[in-house]
Structure 1
Amino acid sequence: MKVSFGGATAESAYVHVRSLLVPAILNHSVRVWLLADHLARREGIDALEREALAVACLFHDLGTTHQHDGPQRFEVEGADAASVFLSRHRWSAPLIKAVWEAIALHTSPGIAERMGSLPRLVRVGVRADFGATELIGTDVGDPLASALALFPRLNIESVLGEAVVAQALRRPEKAPSSSWPGGMLAAHLANPGHLGVNPAF
């Protein structure tokens, strides 16, 4: 079964992030897209916005990579990377802005859901992949389940949490106290010998 991301730019985005992300985070990013796109199709979102959704999902954790470990929160680093990528592909400024917001806000509950289709769908896709499957509904048929099975979880909760904390330990400014990375860092510092999934995940 071949997964198609819906356009040349999104296919190029997959090739790009595949060269940078560790397997667990790459698979998670694709699963987030599969779940978010399932909703997008059900809601009748047009092809161009669905391709933008694919790019946003694929880039949403790119800020965890060594190549994008800048001074900002990992969400913002990933959003900036997507903006540069889409600018090179000559996408329009409004669509680039929407992708940026979707990535930058994906760990911001109560905000992402009110900032338009892309931020809402990326946020829902992330939450659904981490267990909130009720957000997707009950019509998850075999094609979606089969596609998700192509991208195993590979301990994503531990891998992603450790990546975020490792960056925050090197650069505490990446983890403001009120943010999701800040909560992850605080939980790690409170339980330095804890093994497994970060308690704040």
Structure 2
Amino acid sequence: MVDSDANSAPSEFVPNTEISNSAFELASTLLPPPILYHSIRVYLYARSITPPDSSYISPAKQDILFTACILHDIGTVHKFDGAQRFEVEGADVAARHLRRFDVKEDDVHDTWVAIALHTSPGIAERIGDLARIVREAVLVDFGKKTSLGLPMTENDLQERRGELEEKYPRLGVEKILGDAVVEQAVRNPDKAPPASWPGILYRAHLSNPGWDGVNKAF
């Protein structure tokens, strides 16, 4: 079942602030439903897996956590298809968004880093608390192993996954997201440096140009 309110900033998961509501409006206006629902799930996983001693468990940091999660793939949309790889373009969008509200530069920086590095294994997990949370939440949503322990049992995680995917279904996000990244690289190969995740997806596309399924390197 698709949540019919998912495009109207439902209060059940969006922090009730101008910063978060406007970030959600930006995401829900531009992202296709599969990537939007993925971003929603990432935020909700992030809330579930944030350690109790993290500052991002507090209400004061929810705008930052929400913005980093809901906008982490915004660089895949045509409006923000700039010269840099999608993660960096998305990080720039989020930073501009937060600066509109005079958010502290430390928080802007941490949000930028979390989005820019969310596809960088081994770096995102260690460079900062927010980057680690976002990275791990993304991994959880794609059913990947995380490098650090999660503050919930596997059974609890599976139950949470079932709940979230019923309300915010996957809708083939792996194919939609992979294709979006590759389409940008086809137009501008500089957006897919060889060692980056976009670069890996782009090489897989070049090796299998007729393949119509989920990118083989996803």
Same-fold status (TM-score > 0.5): yes
Q: Structure 2: any 5+ residue segments left out of the alignment?
A: 4-9
| Distance in structure 2 (CA, Å) of the matches to 1:59 and 1:107 | 14
In structure 1, runs of 5+ residues without a counterpart are none
Cα displacement string for residues 88-117 of structure 1 (whole angstroms, at most 9, x for unaligned residues) = 111111000000000000000000001111
Q: Once the 2 structures are TM-superposed, how far is the Cα of residue 51 of structure 1 from its aligned partner? A: 2.4
Which of 5, 13, 17 is residue 4 of structure 1 equivalent to? Answer: 13
State the TM-score, normalizing by the size of structure 1: 0.93
Partner in structure 1 of residue 7 of structure 2: none
Query: Percent of aligned pairs with the same residue?
Result: 46
The residue aligned with 1:14 is 24
1:99 matched residue in structure 2: 111
> 2:172 matched to which residue of 1?
155
Q: Please list, as runs of the form range in 1=range in 2, the aligned pairs for 1:1-201 lying within 5 A after superposition.
A: 2=10, 3-8=12-17, 9-40=19-50, 42-44=52-54, 45-132=57-144, 136=150, 137-138=152-153, 139-140=156-157, 145-201=162-218
**Most deviating of 138-147 and 72-81:** 138-147
Select between 47-56 and 136-145 the one with higher mean Cα deviation. 136-145
- Which amino acid is 1:88 matched to? R
* Alignment size in residue pairs: 201
TM score, norm. by length of structure 2: 0.86
Distance 1:25 1:106, change over 3 A: same
RMSD between superposed Cα atoms in Å: 1.9
1: distance between equivalents of 2:14 and 2:50?
13
